Chain A
Amino acid sequence: MREKSGKRRPQPGRAMLAAVMLFFFLGFFLLALNDGEWKSFLLAVLVPLIIFIGTAGMSKLFPSDQLLLALTNFLCALGVLVLYRLNPEKGMTQAGNYGVGVACMVACTYVVRYVPRWKWLTVLMMLGSAGLLVLPLVFGRETNGAKNWIYIGNHSLQPSEIVKLALLLCVSWLLSQRRFFPALLFSGMCLGLLMLQKDLGTALLYYGVALILFFAATGSRLLVLCGVAGAGGGAFAGYQMFAHVKRRVAIWLNPWADTQGAGYQIVQSLIAIVNGGFWGVGLGLGNASVIPEYYNDFIFSVILHEFGVIFGLIVLCMYLFIVIRGMMIARRSRTVFHSLLAAGCTAMLALQTFVIIGGNIKLIPLTGVTLPFISYGGTSMVSSLCVIGLLQGVASRNEAGVNEDRELAMQGGGTL
């Protein structure tokens, strides 16, 4: 009996890891058959190996949530595969980004696991994020109507992706201390600066996450109503104020009005999806690169095109499991701060996925948000993996707590 409750809880197991490895072995091998390059053959061996080390080895390095790790690895590697198929150079870069992202993820996990006091760190992060968000306004160049990138030499950086983490940490810490006003002030400031950068997709994301965190902390229905009304008002104001918002909404309502001009992106995305149909056209046989920004905003359409709608639903399921797992971690957490942090991270990933995939399938107007883990881009990859790292940190704290309780119970202690 003692073994029963004392045994470690089940892990996703080897079969799942084997399935993930097999998937990428076959994927890259297929690409190698197509182009016959040694690099592709090398990747067919390397990527499954890296996944093996990343999933099985990582759990030895720090106490981690195996399911989150396996699903995240799958999605990241899927991004590398699709990018490598369309543009080998971008695929290789993305693989590098993935490596950097994993390192950052481990760092984030350790931070959440071991940092005991957040007060000064929070103040520091708040100041830092204000500075970071001002940078592109001063040094940035306008691309696609928004001014949200800074350029250092050859490298470009999107500060809003990094501030995302600060927002999650600061707002959940402030709310766990019941400091509602500073939390409101900080999230309002971030939102205002993003509006100034005209980066409305990210602003929407921040707004949604802040609203969800406030609701979690207070449970006030009035707040949700006000929030939704505010979002509606903000959207209307944005629609009236910014020309590029007006244009995007018009494209969303009827992209078929101008299939060669304004509606080209979304029309090509939709056509690529239906060309794939339920089973896809087959890896390496599509022509998804006709979609502008196929590597970034429309990567989900590319996946649907080559792998099919059924596979798209499978990928969606994986995101959904990440979200469900994240919320499980939040609910199991023992302190308000970590609970809010996990909930915020999960909401961030969920909303981001919803906003961009919804844009791809014309459910909502398209915004320039990246698809977590899959989209091409260093900053995006790193920040998504850092968010997972924060979640892992909370998960490992929970695990440690349960272990402690179990030990106490096994010793027959824990009495008053």
Chain B
Amino acid sequence: MDVTGHAIIAEGLRKRYGDTEALAGFDLAVPAGTVCGLLGPNGAGKTTAVRILTTLVRPDAGRAEVAGFDVVRRADQARYRIGLVGQHAALDEVLSGRQNLVMFGRLHHLGPAAARRRAEELLERFGLAGTGGKPVKQYSGGMRRRLDLAVGLILSPPVLFLDEPTTGLDPRGREEVWEAVGTLAASGTTVLLTTQYLEEADRLAGQVCVVDAGRVIAEGTPAELKAAIGGDRIDIVAAEAAGVPAVAALAVRVAGAEPDTDAAARRVSVPVRDRVAALTDLVRALDEAGVQAEDIVLRRPTLDDVFLHLTGHHQTRSTTRTEAA
């Protein structure tokens, strides 16, 4: 932690891979003891930011400090103070959970006895005591991710990085990981997590930074961001292209908000406050005006809405799951 009480500081980080600018002036300041979520689509630069902050990659420009140590010049010191849980469970599949923990403990320079003791403690903590002898290959996705977390916590690092910690997990596995992260946060660990899911940031993070095209484009509490996006939305697909302006006009009148219009898809999307009343009013208004609608959908805001709202463009590299969220 530096004098300002921040556990993670990044200033003007830049990183280019060939023609792609992964980070284009990335700034971040995470107060110690808080959970910060980096929210953004695939390719936004979240993972590159985490890789620089965890000393794996050198930035082309800019500087970053973690737990008070420069990640390039004092990387060896920084590594003692961070835990990294990447997108894929980075474990030895042949070894048992216990053997993995002992090996990584030894690589943290714990003595043999201390490494074994720590392994038992962590297995117990993460509900893996009964399965500690099984090869990791036989673990479920949730168990792997919990073991992965445990490995990241061998030294109880003050700063923990989680790169899309629940990607590829089923709902039960996701819940397990969320619970574990919540406990860590409660014990004062600073956590930086990346996610594509608004729901996940909402659940875990006190502060959310929205990342797009290699920089942070907005930040705030989940409540602030949601307020900015608005709550529920109604999407109306006009039966004919000519009907789109009429639908948009009706949407403005009923919802009292400016709709987003996608002419090509004949879709008008408008934020609403009282969802049921707004839906009823809109259907009635369409009917009275004699405007044909092909489809009317009431839906929760998605990450795409955040992006549309903040950047004025849809996620260019969006994943299917964000659409389904």
Tell whether A pairs with B: no
